[in-house]
Structure 1
Amino acid sequence: MSSGKPVMELGFVEEGEAWRLCSPQFPSKVGGRPAWLGEVGVPGPDALQCGLCGKQLAFLLQVYAPSAGSFHRTVFLFCCRNPCCHKGTETQCLKLPRKNDTYSYNPPPDTGPDGEECITYQLKCGLHLCRVCGCLGPKTCSKCHNVNYCSKEHQLMDWKLEHKKLCSVHFDGTITAVADHGFLFPEYEIVTEAEELVTETGSRDKNESGTEKDKESLPSGIGTSLEGIHLDEQELDAMANHETKEDKVFNNFRKSIALEPEQVLRYCRDGEPLWISQKNIPRKKDIPNCGCGTKRIFEFQVMPQLLNHLKVDSLEDSIDWGILAVFTCAANCSAEKQYVPEFVWKQEVVGDTV
């Protein structure tokens, strides 16, 4: 029986066939180059620069999210690869172009193309993409004029790795293999399934004992420390009252993801984020209205588990987040037929927020 609440969809990463991650398939995916949903208004380099260090943002993920009035609609998320820009609670490094008018209403083909290269550096409209990041590349090599870049930084990356060996007045831009410049995140397909809610009795699979699942929801060590100890009602109330708001929020986060610990994304348009900390939860006034004047609503959040798949862990500085909560225009800007910026709220993990 439906409760009337919007359904929370959980996202997981898995290896995907290259052709399934191309634009005509309207993919939801992590890493690699962005699969632009349309060619009109593709954001240029200036729109995809970090607000802190000025470097080009890296494509993090995209979510295909059709809605009323927008048969084809995708939300794109970019982030800075500079670890220093991920300190504190800054959100300038994260931007969200969105597109809602592109392909026909026919469903995409369910088989891969024969002999067609999925990676392209030129859009059908004639615009060229950066060979390093796959974003708009208005700059060209001054010698061969056959490769494009979004910035001098990416041109230098490609020059050192590959283009220095190939560049000449006779080079036509053809490359048989895609070079790894170390800038792109590993590429995965995002698959989703509806979240199964935990019942009051314990778990979704109603295991007979009910003890193991319950223990997973408790803070580390609490389950074993209570075994064999009988506490009266007053003592139990005292312990419950001692739990701080911070404990409750984090414990609720742990309990909510315990059944599906590999989830990297939670999607529920007009739902509620699952906060990881009591600190730095935005107030209504902290979420700016869309440029059209309409308020923004929660659409999805990126989970910290995604970091495990991005190969960014190190003993030194690394990009990091607790959650990334994405808020988009409630009216979906149906009159807009181009990419527009949306809003991201970054929340740190417990203990890191100041």
Structure 2
Amino acid sequence: MAGNIPKSERETGVILGFLEEAEAWQLLSAQFPSKVGGKPAWLSQQNLPTLPEIECEKCQTPLVFLLQVYAPLVGYERSFHRTLYVFCCKTPACYTRNDSRCFKVYRSQLRRENEFYSFNPPPDEKPADPGDEHRILSTGVKLCYLCGCPGQKACSRCHLVTYCSKEHQVIDWKQRHKKECCDEAASVASEILNSFVFPERELVTEPEKLPVKHEELCASNSSEQVNYTSDLEEKELESMAFHETRDSKVFLKFKKCIATEPHQVLRYCREGSPLWLSSEHVPIKAEVPKCPCGAERTFEFQIMPQLLNHLKVDRKDASIDWGTLVIYTCTDSCDQGNKYSPEFIWKQDFSEDRVL
């Protein structure tokens, strides 16, 4: 409660996301989880995005599941259940500066009364038979053994496992399936050895509380004013100094705002404002496309660079990387039945001379 917050602290309206261990059953679809890594816990059990919808626009390989956020909207019956999914490419070369073409975002939502889940909240205990939803959904949709996306290609030898693409079939054949083909028991037992997906953790949330002096900084959008002279050279120098000062202030704001909770991996504030880490490559309104329904898109949440530490993607030669990933969604959260609706993502990287 707000009354219990020390006077030196104040809630900002932002919800922070952190990673925690969880039991596997707690991250299944019926528990409506928010999570990072592993395979998607699909909300709607039909009309899932398939290739080429979930392939990298740069290298045309299938994307891998990064995270999902359960974010129902109060007062909207059509989005009583609502989950946002983020996918990314695992090819480091695709991560060029401020380029978001190696990411995709999808939104799924359902009414409280639907054909997949109980009208009542799920019990807070392990189900007697959790099933195997990472292989086949209740609707009969088969999933890729490697990534958990719709699998339309089956192994021609055993016909027991399916894949979303030839690329993922080849990876799994080399990694595991060559030794286990035609041995169903071995295939099931080795599920935990799938090293292709990111490490799986639950996303837990809590309100952001900042010291008042930090909150004032984080709320400030002021910039230093520069008095220009008529001398062209001096104006150019001052312009460069102004840009550097402005970028430094934005970066300082970023560092100050995350200093009290350095392990945050996500910031959620629908219709709020992102926490930018640079004054460069900040989108103007026209650069955030409208939803196909015609509604504007609004900021909903952002993924922080701290998540990269958990993903274990560092390599000596190259690595996937970002400064922050900012997700914009349909203001109306439009109803497209059980379809997964594409949303918009903006990638902003650190300035070249900045480090976190």
Please tell me the TM-score bracket, short chain as reference. Answer: 0.7 to 0.9
Q: Is 291-300 or 240-249 further displaced after alignment?
A: 240-249
Which amino acid in 1 is paired with 2:83? T
Contact 2:12 2:215 in 1 (8 A): no
Counterpart residue number, 1:209? none
Which amino acid in 2 is paired with 1:13? L
**Are 2:206 and 1:193 aligned?**
yes
Contact 1:72 1:103 in 2 (8 A): no
Following the alignment from structure 2 to structure 1, what is the Cα–Cα distance between the partners of residues 308 and 36? 11
**Are 2:94 and 1:85 aligned?**
yes
**Are 2:77 and 1:64 aligned?**
no
Counterpart residue number, 2:191? 178
Q: How big is the shift at 1:116?
A: 3.5
Q: How big is the shift at 1:29?
A: 0.2
Equivalence map 1:148-187=2 (5 Å): 148-168=162-182, 175-187=188-200
Following the alignment from structure 2 to structure 1, what is the Cα–Cα distance between the partners of residues 52 and 189? 30
Contact 1:146 1:173 in 2 (8 A): no
Following the alignment from structure 1 to structure 2, what is the Cα–Cα distance between the partners of residues 243 and 275? 15
Q: How big is the shift at 1:203?
A: 8.4
Q: Is 121-130 or 344-353 further displaced after alignment?
A: 344-353
Which amino acid in 1 is paired with 2:16? L
TM-score normalized by structure 1?
Answer: 0.83
Greater share of strand? 2
Following the alignment from structure 1 to structure 2, what is the Cα–Cα distance between the partners of residues 119 and 352? 45
Q: How big is the shift at 1:183?
A: 1.6
Counterpart residue number, 2:271? 270
| Partner SS for 2:103 | coil
Which amino acid in 1 is paired with 2:109? N
Contact 2:65 2:87 in 1 (8 A): yes
Determine which of 13, 19, 33 is the counterpart of 2:39: 33
Q: How big is the shift at 1:142?
A: 1.4
Equivalence map 1:314-329=2 (5 Å): 314-329=315-330
CA deviation string 1:250-305 (max 9, x = no partner): 00001111111110000000000000000000000000000111100000000000
CA deviation string 1:185-208 (max 9, x = no partner): 0111001000113213x689xxxx
Counterpart residue number, 1:53? 59
| Partner SS for 2:150 | coil
Structure 2 gaps, min length 5: 4-10, 111-115, 218-240
CA RMSD of aligned residues (A): 2.5
User: CA 1:22–1:90 in 2, change beyond 3 Å: closer, same or farther?
Assistant: same
User: CA 1:171–1:274 in 2, change beyond 3 Å: closer, same or farther?
Assistant: closer
Counterpart residue number, 2:288? 287
Following the alignment from structure 2 to structure 1, what is the Cα–Cα distance between the partners of residues 147 and 184? 21
TM-score normalized by structure 2?
Answer: 0.82
Structure 1 gaps, min length 5: 205-213, 215-239
Q: How big is the shift at 1:115?
A: 5.3
| Partner SS for 1:244 | helix
Which amino acid in 2 is paired with 1:114? A
| Partner SS for 2:320 | coil
Equivalence map 1:203-214=2 (5 Å): none
Counterpart residue number, 1:124? 138
**Are 2:89 and 1:76 aligned?**
no
User: CA 1:12–1:118 in 2, change beyond 3 Å: closer, same or farther?
Assistant: farther
Contact 1:250 1:350 in 2 (8 A): no
Q: How many residues align?
A: 315
